[in-house]
Chains A and B, each alone.
Chain A
């Protein structure tokens, strides 16, 4: 029993596929949406454009291809508010917890 030889063979391609599974994406995007909603509640839209936006995409396969959800400022008012209050740093912490 103690001498049993166990070998692992990692299949990078399967890891890559796993990172783009809908369940994984749903969890990450839910966190992103929470941050965007809370951030947008703090800054008025500019000419119909929400202050903060979100994109969701898979990173380059080098070899990982991690899924990224990015929240960013879309308007000048949001950029200024962000620089004054560090909104995203605070909200991402809150969402991560």
Chain B
């Protein structure tokens, strides 16, 4: 019998990976700052994904990087991509990251409401282990 446990909060894992990668260099959040916009910030969203089996939740994430110049924003995107790759097979915020891949981007996609910042973004899949506590009853 399959045991389906509540999946881990994948977005929290996605944010934590980037918080650890950027430190104080850039703010990482799931929302845009409403005021006092920092020079550099990153918005992370979960835009889809699926869980086909009890052991892995496959989250599709969207990472939007904002900075005042193109060189910085591209560098931020690449830092984020590398951070996710290096997070594979590690524990982050209490969850195990199995895999990262299926990237699309980064692309230059300016935000019409934030004209004084460049925005580059990419999408990718982040696989989170969801069976930490799964201990099926022995038959």
In chain B between 113 and 139, which residues have their CB closer than 8 angstroms to a CB of chain A? 113, 121, 123
Residue of B nearest to A86 (CB): B62
A residues near B111, Cβ cutoff 8 Å: 83-84
Stretch in contact with the other chain, from A12-20, A25-33, A55-63, A87-95: A87-95
User: What bracket does the count of chain A residues touching chain B fall in?
Assistant: 10 to 19
A79 to chain B, nearest CB (A): 8
Identify which of B47, B60, B62, B109 contacts A83 (C-beta below 8 A): B109
B112 lies within 8 A of A83 (CB) = yes
A93 lies within 8 A of B112 (CB) = no
A45 to chain B, nearest CB (A): 19
B113 lies within 8 A of A93 (CB) = no
A83 to B50, CA, bound (A): 25
Q: Kindly list the 4 A-B residue pairs having the minimum CB-CB distance in the complex, ordered from nearest.
A: A93-B48, A90-B47, A83-B112, A80-B112
Q: Can you identify 23 A-B contacts, CB atoms within 8 angstroms? A: A80-B112, A83-B109, A83-B110, A83-B111, A83-B112, A84-B111, A84-B112, A86-B45, A86-B62, A86-B64, A89-B47, A89-B62, A89-B123, A90-B48, A90-B62, A93-B47, A93-B48, A93-B49, A93-B60, A94-B48, A96-B48, A97-B48, A97-B50
